[in-house]
Structure 1
Amino acid sequence: MWELMVKGGWIMWPILVCSVAAAILFLERVFHLHRAQIKQDDFLSGIYTIVNRGNTAEAVSICDQTPGPVAHIVRTGLLHSDEAPEELKQTIAKAGLGEIPRLEKNLGGLLTIAQISPLLGLMGTVIGLVKVFMAMEQAAPLAEIGDLSAGIWQALITTAFGIGIAIPSFAGYNFLLSRVETITLNMEYAAGEIYRFLVYDRVDGERTGDETL
């Protein structure tokens, strides 16, 4: 591997940096999104039960201890449950919008790496070909393959490494994007459910459906 790095020239170092950065960004997002995705139906069911017993503070505490945007949205709804229905809906919606940038954090960086890695490889190819023609010019008219091999090696290696980094980076980006979309749908579902519960289905006496009519 080190021999390939040397033959690829200095352009291999930014390509290597891109590969390390892509791995770090991908693993960090995978871990974050894994923690952010919970079994929302079980979570909501437990919150409903606790709130219906009149213990909203305990429900808020459970939300604080549960990671992910769904728990944060539910917590926001519980803390603002005394608001009018329309205000409550807007508050919950704002909380959901605020969670999206956190979910999408670093995805742009991973996509950028996927886009610039093949360009770095292309730059290495151009530099390698320049070396080939310079060697041909200097050794003309008796240029040998050994005079040209360094530039050819650099052209091939940088192209291969650039594409080799871009493919998994782009695949990782799309995988993470699909996870974000799934969690976003879960957030929308949880927002609608907690709003319906607080406005219409709550039975602890603090708010009932009759009060909203």
Structure 2
Amino acid sequence: MTLLFFQTTDSVNKIIDTAKHAGVQMAQAPDQEIHFGDLIIKGGWVMIPIGILAVLGLVIFFERYFTIRKASKNESNLMIQVRSSIHTGNLESAIAICRNSNTPLGRMLQKGLLRIGRPIKDIEGAIENVGKLEVSKLEKNIGILGIVAGIAPMFGFLGTIIGVIKIFFDISKTDNFSIGVISGGLYVKMITSAAGLTVGIVAYVGYHILNMMVERLILNLETDAIEFIDLLEEPSK
């Protein structure tokens, strides 16, 4: 009975010592934190084209956004001034007002005013041609943003595939098929997929935002152009 008691006590002491030793090791182990810069570096060379696409997409989006927003400002005051000048017969004043506005609508109306005296169809055609040219200027480089949205995720998947190939190549050389080797290398290479998808999603959203802004602007320009043509037809009624 006494021997059994001492054996039990000895086992308990061993368990306590083991637990203490494990606790000391855990306390001494350095904390592993994931840093954004480290992830980018571990992503490999594929992160370079993804980063270039990200910068390119942001530059195009903000440049087009502010350009379209400036062109989309309310031009009701311009229409009022042009209408007033036409009613008083002062076409030179109306042309000067449109020229000084320096907006797509101003350039469209200026072209129409310069065609006054010709058939109304010619005036409509001139305004429409200028409108198409203005819209083409506003849509400049928006297509590139759509390309960024398409190829950025592809670069991400390419990085992951390259990483998987490298993992299995290393396994074939070292014959080390441990979970640590596979999961560690794979999570590093999945960084490229996450980065590529992030850039692609942001570019995709930005692309459609700009397109919606352009479509809204086109609708406003068409509405103002119709109002201008109606204004020119008033004296002949």
Cα distance in structure 2, aligned partners of 1:165 and 1:106: 17
Tell me which residue corresponds to 1:112: 147
Candidates 126, 144, 159, aligned match of 1:124? 159
C-alpha displacement of 1:11: 0.3
Aligned to 2:215: 181
Aligned pair count reads 202
**1:7 and 2:39 aligned:** no
Aligned to 1:156: 190
Q: Point out the more displaced range, 66-75 or 157-166.
A: 66-75
Matches within 5 A, 1:1-213: 1-140=36-175, 142-145=176-179, 147-148=181-182, 151-198=185-232, 200-201=233-234, 208-209=235-236
1:150 Cα deviation from its structure 2 partner: 6.0
C-alpha contact 1:135 1:148 (8 A) present in aligned 2: no
Greater C-alpha Rg: 2
Unaligned 5+ runs, structure 1: 202-207
| CA distance in 1 between partners of 2:184 and 2:102 (Å) | 53
Q: Is the 8 A contact 1:70 1:186 kept in 2?
A: no
Percent identity reads: 31
Aligned equivalents of 2:184 and 2:60: distance in 1? 34
CA contact 1:35–1:67 (8 Å) conserved in 2: no
SS of alignment partner, residue 105 of structure 1: coil
Aligned match of 1:205: none
2: CA distance between counterparts of 1:160 and 1:67? 43
CA distance in structure 1 between the partners assigned to 2:95 and 2:38 by the alignment = 58
Instruction: For residues 21-49 of structure 1, give each alpha carbon's deviation from its aligned partner in whole angstroms, at most 9, with x where no partner exists.
Output: 00000000111001101223332112111
Root-mean-square deviation (CA), in Å? 1.7
Deviation string, structure 1 residues 158-195 (Cα, Å, up to 9, x no partner): 00000111111111111111100000011111111111
Amino acid at match of 1:16: G
Structure-2-length-normalised TM-score: 0.80
When the two structures are superposed, what TM-score results if normalisation uses the length of structure 1?
0.88
Output one character per residue of 1:87-111: Cα deviation in whole Å (capped at 9) or x when no partner: 1121112121222211211110000
Stretch deviating more after TM superposition (35-44 or 167-176): 35-44
C-alpha separation in 1, matches of 2:58 and 2:170? 37
CA distance in 2, matches of 1:20, 1:112: 14
What SS is found at the alignment partner of 2:60? helix
One-letter amino acid matched to 1:162: G
Cα offset, 1:137, TM superposition: 0.8
CA deviations over 1:94-153 (Å, ceiling 9, x no partner): 12122221121111000000010100101011011111111111111x344554466314
One-letter amino acid of the structure 2 residue matched with residue 125 of structure 1 = T
**Structure 1 range deviating more: 75-84 or 59-68:** 59-68
